[in-house]
Structure 1
Amino acid sequence: MKKALLVIDVQNGMFQEGNVVYKGERMLQNLKDLIVQARSTETPIFYIQHNAPAGNLLEYGTKGWEIHPELTPKKNQDVIIQKTTPDSFYNTSLDEELKKQGIEHLVVAGIQTEACVDTTCRRAFSMEYKVTLVSDTHSTWNSQDITAQQIINHHNEVLRWFAAVYPSKDITFDR
C-alpha cells in the first residue's frame, strides 16, 4: 500500500513571535525527521497550504502564508495543495493528485489539531484512505477552556476511530 506524507498548514504565520504554536520547535524537528525519512524512501510528500482572506495571518502571497522555511518543498518533486477550508480535500486537487500517484495510505502531521488536522483525517477515512496520525507532530494553541496539550491528547484519542495513531519515532516509510 503506497504511502504519502501529508504536511498540513505548517506556514510562517503559525510561528509568530509571541504566539508560536504549542511546542512548535519540537513539532518542526519531528517533521523534518519524517521528511528526511520520506525522501530517503522516495515517499511522496504533499504540503497543504491554507489560503485565508485578505488581512488574515495566512493571506495568500504574504510572508505568513509561506511554508515554514525549515520544511521547504522540493520543486518538481513535492506537491503543494492550496486550500481555503479546514478540509484538505474540499475544493482542492488533493484526491486527484493522490490517485495519480497510486497513494492509498496518508501519514498526517501539521497544524491545527482540532481544525485542519482533525477534519482532514476524518475526510480521508471517509474517502477510504488508510490514515496514520503522527501523535507528536501536530499542534495547536491553548483555547479559553483547555490547554493545547489537552486538545492534542484528546484528538490523539478521538481520532483513533479514523486513523492509526503513532509517535514519529514509530513511523516508517517503505521503499
Structure 2
Amino acid sequence: MIDVQRDMLEPPLPVPSARQVGAAIRDVLDRARQAGAQVVHVRNNGGADDPDAPDSLGWELVHEVRDGEHLIDKSVPDSFDGTGLDKILPDGAPLILVGMQSDYCVRATALAALSRGHQVTLVRDAHATYDDEVPAAQASRRVEDELRAAGAMVIGSEDVRFD
C-alpha cells in the first residue's frame, strides 16, 4: 500500500479518481487481510510545506495499520530506498501494489521491486495520480505500459488473488 494517505484520497485536493481508486484499494486490502497476506503500508513524509508533511492531517494513512502489518516511512519515491522494506519482504516474494502516485512512487517502487527479483503485480484500478502535463488517467496508463514492458503484471482488482 504505497502512500494511501489522506492528502491524495480525501478533500480538499484528492486525485481525480479518488472515489473509485479508494474503493478498489479498500477491496484489495480487505481481501488481503482475510487471506492472511502480508500487508505493508508505506507512508510518504513530505517537506514542511507539503500536504503530506509529517504529523499533518494529509500525512495520515487512510487505513489503520493493524497488528501484524508493517508501516514504513519514506521521503523519496522508491519505497525500498533506505527504509528497510527489503528486510521485511522475503527475497523474490510476489508483490501486489496499490497506491499513490502512479507516475512517482508507484512507478519507482515497482521498478525497484522488479530489479530486486520480485514478481510485481500492479492493480490497474487501485493506483492513481493528479492531472499534470497529461491527464491523470493517461499518466497512469503510461506507467502501466512501462511497468508491463519491464516485466510487471497489470490486472484489475477483481482479478487479484491471495493464494
State the TM-score, normalizing by the size of structure 1. Answer: 0.88
Q: Does 1:96 align with 2:87?
A: yes
Which amino acid letter does the alignment assign opposite residue 138 of structure 1? Answer: H
What do you get for the CA RMSD once the two structures are aligned?
1.3
8 Å CA contact retained: 2:92, 2:116? no
2:135 corresponds, among 131, 147, 160, to 147
Q: Which residue of 2 aligns with 1:20?
A: 14
More strand by share: 1
Shift, 1:56, TM fit: 1.5
Structure 1: runs of 5 or more not aligned? 1-6
Q: Does 1:124 align with 2:118?
A: no
Q: State, as a whole percentage, how many aligned pairs show the same letter.
A: 30
Shift, 1:55, TM fit: 2.2
Q: Which residue of 2 aligns with 1:60?
A: 54
State the TM-score, normalizing by the size of structure 2. Answer: 0.94
Q: How many pairs does the alignment contain?
A: 162
Give the whole-Å Cα distance in 1 for the aligned partners of 2:10 and 2:156.
26
Give the whole-Å Cα distance in 1 for the aligned partners of 2:118 and 2:139.
24
SS of the residue 2:108 aligns to: helix
8 Å CA contact retained: 1:122, 1:162? no
Q: Which residue of 1 aligns with 2:145?
A: 157
Which amino acid letter does the alignment assign opposite residue 95 of structure 1? Answer: D
Give the whole-Å Cα distance in 2 for the aligned partners of 1:37 and 1:16.
22
**Runs of 4+ more than 4 Å apart:** none
CA distance 1:8–1:120, shift in 2 (3 Å): same
Give the whole-Å Cα distance in 1 for the aligned partners of 2:54 and 2:131.
25
